[in-house]
Homo-oligomer: A and B are copies of this chain.
């Protein structure tokens, strides 16, 4: 095969209390990457084309993940990666993770490598390390495995996709509010220590959220999609967060959380949610404080191998 293509979906990490361990993939957005063997010799082995930004493969997670894969698998061919960038970058929607995941999946197909999903996560993480300075697998795990994932270990990589209730879908509010170097700043705000009370509080949220998502119990999701530790510390960066979450809850979303490191806010919705109310009120509120927004409804997405 001279070229191969892969899709990877956007994702929401943390889901409230699950810092670095929980994430879901949603079909709100996706990246599509086509990998092909170049007929000319490329210095370094990788060339990026299309909507990738930046196009320097050493500053792009798709490129970094590809480098890591080629090096570890000892592939000497030169590769062209054509990137159809669908996931907006800088909004907490797992954009860098989706690019890395699509890149690894496309190259895996091109050379018929049969990489395990764990290996795909490992290679894809190379890009995440570069973009945040800290190894975290949550977004790439969601994009590669699809669905709702628990990152059980990052060294070695161990991820579990857990089936959740089909009752739930998602609404994502994407405020046009970008903070330069957000991912690093957001990481820096994470407290180094937490009180035992906050531990117990957050542990309870995790138990409620996990069991609520699995069993389809919206009240448990409502109670559990909260965070006294990481979201609490990051909230000052996003002064509109509390108000938008209140709008979602008032319109009977099952739950709402900061998507990853923000600024996007994701709501878990079901048939009892007034989705139109959320759309209208959230957009109006954000506009009233001078912030434009996009609002996207989505469902749980598959992984890179199930598209």
Contact = CB atoms under 8 A, between A and B. Distances in A.
Q: How many copies does the complex hold?
A: 2
A219 to B, nearest CB: 8
A21 interface: yes
Nearest to A230: B196
A17 B200 CA distance: 9
A298 interface: no
Interface in A139-163: 150-152, 160, 162-163
A257 to B, nearest CB: 14
Contacts of A300: none
Interface stretch (A70-78, A186-194, A276-284): A186-194
Given A194-B194, A208-B152, A199 B202 contact: yes
Tell me the dominant secondary structure on chain A's binding face. Answer: mixed
A300 to B, nearest CB: 16
Contact of A210 (B21, B151, B206): B206
Nearest to A194: B199
A302 B246 CA distance: 38
B19 A207 contact: no
A193 B192 CA distance: 10
A168 B138 CA distance: 30
Contacts of A195: 192-193
Given A21-B203, A150-B207, A196 B194 contact: yes
A208 B202 CA distance: 15
A220 interface: yes
A231 B199 CA distance: 14
A151 B211 CA distance: 13
Contact of A220 (B151, B160, B229): B160
B194 A150 contact: no
Interface in A216-242: 220, 223, 229
A196 B191 contact: yes
A193 B199 CA distance: 8
A196 B163 CA distance: 28
Contacts of A192: 195-196
Contacts of A179: none
A238 to B, nearest CB: 20
19 contacts: A17-B203, A19-B199, A19-B203, A21-B200, A21-B203, A21-B204, A22-B207, A152-B204, A160-B220, A163-B215, A190-B196, A193-B194, A193-B195, A196-B229, A199-B202, A199-B229, A202-B203, A210-B210, A211-B214
Interface of A: 17-22, 150-152, 160, 162-163, 190-196, 199-200, 202-204, 206-208, 210-211, 214-215, 220, 223, 229
Closest 9 CB pairs of A and B: A206-B206, A210-B210, A21-B204, A193-B193, A150-B207, A207-B210, A162-B211, A203-B206, A20-B200
